[in-house]
Amino acid sequence: MDLIYPVGGRSSWNREELRYSIRSACQHLSVDRVIVSGDAPAWFTGTRVPGKDDGPKVRNVLRKIRAALAVAGPQVMVIWDDVYLLAPPDLRWGYKGLLSHAVEKMTRTRPQSDFFLRSSIATLKMLREIGIDEPLDFSTHRPWAMDREQAVETVDLCLHLPFAVDFQPLHWAIHGGAVQRATQAKRRSWKGVPTGDIFSSGDGCERDPRFREWCAATWPDACQWDR
């Protein structure tokens, strides 16, 4: 399996979160190749795919994923640079609930100009128009394991639409696949050693010396992609 990391230009920890994410994945998965699409740090020795942030974040991420898919093998996993595998992961896609409920909550808590809100509204409207009344909300910050050709089909569709949409609900609506009910993996601040199979760190974690020490103690050894 090839790992795809779409990486942006901002890091509160000088890309050390990516280093430990890669080490954690190599510990718990059989990894053929690691692909960083975007801003790869100097220490990274895997496959680099250049990419710049330009325009809405949702489309930036999709363009980076598409560029990485062009050089990837038949099975891929898209993973964020702040996601860590704590055990052999359950690679079924994790969903929190219904996308309609997520849109209702974001409508109450975010401005109408928020790009995540706008893309979620567009996704819900599009899927309902094709007969999927209650698509799932996959915003759990867990990785996406996929067939490469299916991923290419979905990304190309997303990028050809005149509006931004959420990749995961659309991909699942088109291609299906096993899913699991999952909680949000991301923590905004460090609250002690996490449990479960997957953990995601927010900026508050990455600035916390206790989190940094935990990462260094948990994954002390370099792998072939961070020499």
Length of the chain (residues): 227
Which pLDDT score, from 0 to 100, does residue 227 have?
82
For the chain, the first-to-last Cα distance in angstroms comes to: 21
Exposed / middle / buried, residue 149 (Cβ in 10 Å: 0-12, 13-18, 19+): exposed
Compute mean pLDDT per 10 residues along the chain, 227 residues long, and list them: 92 95 97 96 96 79 96 98 97 96 96 92 96 96 97 97 94 95 95 96 96 98 93
Domains, the chain, with CATH or none: 2-90+139-218 (3.90.550.10)
* pLDDT of the residue at 53: 78
pTM, two decimals, is 0.95
Angular region, 176: left φ>0, alpha ψ -120 to 50, beta rest = left
The first and second tokens of residue 196, run together, are 């479960």
Q: Quick one: DSSP state of residue 97? A: E
For residue 31, what pLDDT is reported? 97
C-alpha distances out from residue 103 to 48, 66, 93, 124, 139, Å: 35, 26, 19, 8, 11
pLDDT at position 104: 97
CA distance 135 to 117: 15
